[in-house]
Structure 1
Amino acid sequence: MTRSPATPLPPPKARRRLRETAALTQTQLADRVGVTPGTVRAWESGRTTPRGRKREAYAKLLKTLAEEAAVQAPEPKPKLEPESRPQPQPEAKPQPEPEPKVEPEGKPQPQPESQPQPQPVAAPEPVALTPAQAFDALYAFSAPALVRQTFLLTGRREQARESVERAFQAAWEHWPEVARDRDPVGWVRATAYEYALSPWQRLRPRHRHPEPPPADPGDRTLLNALLRLPPRHRRTLVLYDGVGLDLPETAAETEASTPATANRLLRAREAVAGRLPALADPQVLHRRLAELASNERLRAAEPPTVRRGGERRARLRTRAAIAFTVALVATTALTVRTAPTHYEPPVSPGQAVRGVPQRVAPGALSDEELELRQKLRDQMQDGPERLSPRLE
């Protein structure tokens, strides 16, 4: 069964521009599509992409807004500018020279020296950063905090560091898109959380060997309470009470509705408060999560190392894709070369034949058989008699 191609959508910035041109808020647009305002915010920022029926409804609405904007846009009228004529400059009149003042003694008074006027200082022009410099700045700013946040999700230091590095490598591969995003840190954070909470992590050999728990008993108890939560509830709790996002932003990043996100948050808080009653207050829980993430010695790699690792991984994937394509082409050519050019009917299956007498084992010849053999031996082996036998 073949899938129909997805409906094309304009870029994220064009989606937002169409909504603002139609004087619609994100809430009004969300009501017309049937989603939450946080989901619309994520669509316009490019963090998520609509799918299925929501994509069809969203694309149809954007097309309608674009048509209305094209109808309402006035045609630009050409401006008629008068021809520029040279204006006559007024003639400069000669200024009379000032006469020197004469003191009573008759000596001319010295004129004051003219002081130099201060020149205006030009504002420094903004320095444009290269893509590598901008990536390094983003990594240095957000990588340490993202490693600590990911540690709260996984409870594993090496897995948290690797998840953040993989997320930044993906950001470097899609850097034009990430650089134009309204929240590049959120883009990297969502990618790191998805990689850290992937169910394939359980199949890795190092997942079977647990890491040493935190030294503080309170931190160890809090981390165990977090790891007992379902992955979706744990991610919602870390984003809302750990990172400090509001409910719509948390719902948009977890790709869930706002009521579902609120329900997950309440259940996660109840589960943590059931094991640690002192953390029933959200403010106390936020402080304890920050302390737990800060007490661990978590370090991130250097930005050039992450960039080179991402480029090396991209080269390996490209070479693997080329090798697979070459092998597929060679296999197809060999199949075409060795395939039969005409139809060969299959051999019918064998069937049992009945009524055939059984074979008898050889034994002594009878008298008639002995007489016949002797008669054949006495006759000539060649000659016309062999060609025209006579009747006896």
Structure 2
Amino acid sequence: MKRSPAPPLPPPPVRRQLREAAALTQDQLAARVGVTRETVGAWESGRETPRGRRGTAYAKLLGVLADEAAARRPEPGPAAPPALTPAQAFDALYEFGAPALVRQTYLLTGRRELARESVERAFQRAWELWPEVARDRDPVGWVRATAHEYALSPWHRFRRRHRQPEPPPADPGDRTLLNVLLRLPPPHRRTLLLYDGVGLGLPETAAETEASTPAAAGRLLRAREAVADRLPELGDPQVLHRRLAELASTERLRASRPQTVRAGSERRARLWTRAAIAFTAALIGTTALTLRTAPTHYEPPVPPGQAIHGVPPRVAPGALSDEELRLRQKLRDQLQDGPERLVPRPG
């Protein structure tokens, strides 16, 4: 009796994306397959390859999740080409990853509007750089890193809309856990979210947070200790992972439509282009005016006047005396040319 071939397995990043799109935690998926959470994390990071009956069950479950994700996407029209256009590929990525990213960013910031805005800004940036993002090995990871950096920007504290407190979670346990998370330093909080919340491996967490692996491990241990000091029941990493997933899934978080995000990205690009053109035109006009009005040669500055003491004032000429009148008449009567002008005659 021949065994039916095992279904093909998607790449490791796609495995995690399929689980996140279905709003499943690693514990939930591990329970459905019959393995531990650590095994699922190793499969999703690529450190281990699923084998045997459990590997086959894992592959079948991923196939079901992929079919469900495809069913949620809009059906292409009859005249649609077989290859996706850039806009269609972007919309598929947005619908696939945006809901989970909004929930994750909410755990990072504790603010619903900021989480939605951060994910939208990250996807707008991805649409501006779509050729680069489309070729990335993990597009969702690229957008997640951009969204987290925007969400943790210290400039948000100066915005008026983010100074007002938002309503806390309704459940007291959720409020306590969220307050504990927000007391952590941002790098520690982000490391804890990526490792215990998203389920990334330690090397992937270190790479996304731009830290070395030992530094990421130290941040993770200190964050776990801080959480366990305030909430001892979350000292077990598996319990902490489950509570983070429950806290993110209980909040009603929404994401805009992908068409709206693409339109916002294109509008921002047009505004920046117009601003660059206006600045360039102003710079050219200022340069032309400077060249037109600038002097063409060096003109030394006129020194300031100084008062000179001891020089008698200049007196205007007055009436001539009799002797001066006789001398003037004598000069007029003499010849004006001839040798007499050169050799005076004896008188």
Structure 2 residue runs of 5 or longer lacking an equivalent are: 1-44, 46-80, 312-317, 328-347
* Aligned-partner residue type, residue 127 of structure 1: P
| Structure 1 residues 158 and 386: CA distance shift in structure 2, 3 A | farther
Q: Which is helix-richer, 1 or 2?
A: 2
Separation of aligned partners in 1, 2:142 and 2:126: 8
Q: In structure 2, how many angstroms separate the alpha carbons of the residues matched to 1:248 and 1:146?
A: 20
Q: Quick one: distance in 1 between partners of 2:176 and 2:235?
A: 15
Residues 341-352 of structure 1: pairs in structure 2 closer than 5 A: 341-348=296-303
Unpaired segments ≥5 residues, structure 1: 1-40, 42-125, 358-375
RMSD: 2.4
Query: How far 1:236 moved relative to its partner?
Result: 0.4
Question: CA deviation digits over 1:335-358, x for unaligned, max 9?
Answer: 11101111122344666x58579x
Shift of 1:174: 0.9
The residue identity in structure 2 corresponding to 1:289 is: L
Q: 2:218 aligns with which of 263, 269, 287?
A: 263
Aligned to 2:274: 319
Change (3 A) 1:191 1:387: farther
Partner of 1:137: 92
Cα 1:326–1:246 change in 2 (3 A) is same
Q: Is the alpha carbon distance of 1:389 and 1:204 closer, same or farther for their aligned partners in structure 2, counting shifts above 3 Å?
A: farther
* 2:252 paired residue among 285, 297, 321: 297
What is residue 36 of structure 2 aligned with on the other side? none
Letter matched to residue 109 of structure 2: T
Alpha-carbon distance in 2 for matches of 1:386, 1:295? 125
- The C-alpha deviation readout for 1:206-232, integer Å capped at 9, x for no partner, is 122111111111111111111111111
- Give 1:327 shift: 0.5
* Residues 333 and 136 of structure 1: CA distance in aligned 2, closer, same or farther (over 3 Å): same
Whether 1:186 and 2:141 are equivalent positions in the alignment is yes
Per-residue displacement from partner, 1:163-209 (whole Å, max 9, x unpaired)? 00000011111111111111000010001011111111122111221
1:193 alignment partner AA = H
Q: TM-score, normalised by structure 1?
A: 0.58
Equivalent positions of 1:32-47 (< 5 A) are none
CA distance in structure 2 between the aligned counterparts of 1:286 and 1:296, rounded to whole angstroms: 16
**Paired residue for 2:102?**
147
Residue 85 (structure 1) aligns with: none
Q: Secondary structure at the match of 1:160?
A: helix
Alignment of 1:46-195 (within 5 A): 127-195=82-150
Whole-Å separation in 2 of the counterparts to 1:340 and 1:309 = 48
Match of 1:147, SS? helix
* 1:385–1:127 Cα change, 3 Å: same
Deviates more, 1:229-238 or 1:203-212: 203-212
Structure 1 runs, 4 residues or longer, greater than 6 Å off = 384-387
Letter in 2 for 1:212: P
Aligned residue type for 1:161: R
Amino acid at match of 2:158: L
Q: How do 1:272-311 and structure 2 match up within 5 A?
A: 272-311=227-266
Look at both structures and tell me which one has the larger radius of gyration over its CA atoms. Answer: 1
Change (3 A) 1:161 1:350: farther
The one-letter code of the counterpart of 1:163 is S
Deviation string for 1:64-107 (max 9, x for gaps)? xxxxxxxxxxxxxxxxxxxxxxxxxxxxxxxxxxxxxxxxxxxx
Question: For residue 213 of structure 1, what is the aligned residue in structure 2?
Answer: 168
Structure 2: distance between partners of 1:311 and 1:386: 101
Identity of matched residues, %: 81
Partner Cα distance (1:387, 1:336) in 2: 66
Residue type matched to 1:239 in 2?
L
Go from structure 1 to structure 2 and tell me whether the alpha carbon gap of 1:346 and 1:220 turns closer, same or farther (over 3 Å shift): farther
Partner in structure 2 of residue 363 of structure 1: none
CA gap 1:346/1:271 in 2 versus in 1, 3 angstroms: farther
* Residue 187 of structure 2 corresponds to residue 232 of structure 1: yes
Aligned equivalents of 2:253 and 2:89: distance in 1?
Answer: 23
CA–CA separation in structure 2 for the residues paired with 1:222 and 1:188: 26
- Rate the CA distance shift 1:274–1:386 in 2: closer, same or farther, 3 A: farther
Counterpart secondary structure, 1:159 = helix
Output the amino acid matched with 1:315: R
Deviates more, 1:136-145 or 1:207-216: 207-216
C-alpha displacement of 1:127? 2.5
How far residue 387 of structure 1 moved from its aligned partner, in angstroms, is 11
1:339 to 276, 294, 306: 294
Q: Distance in 1 between matches of 2:95 and 2:260?
A: 12
In the comparison of the two structures, how many residue pairs are matched? 242
CA distance in structure 2 between the partners assigned to 1:326 and 1:199 by the alignment: 33
Deviations 1:13-58 (A, max 9, x none): xxxxxxxxxxxxxxxxxxxxxxxxxxxx9xxxxxxxxxxxxxxxxx
> How high is the TM-score relative to the length of structure 2?
0.66
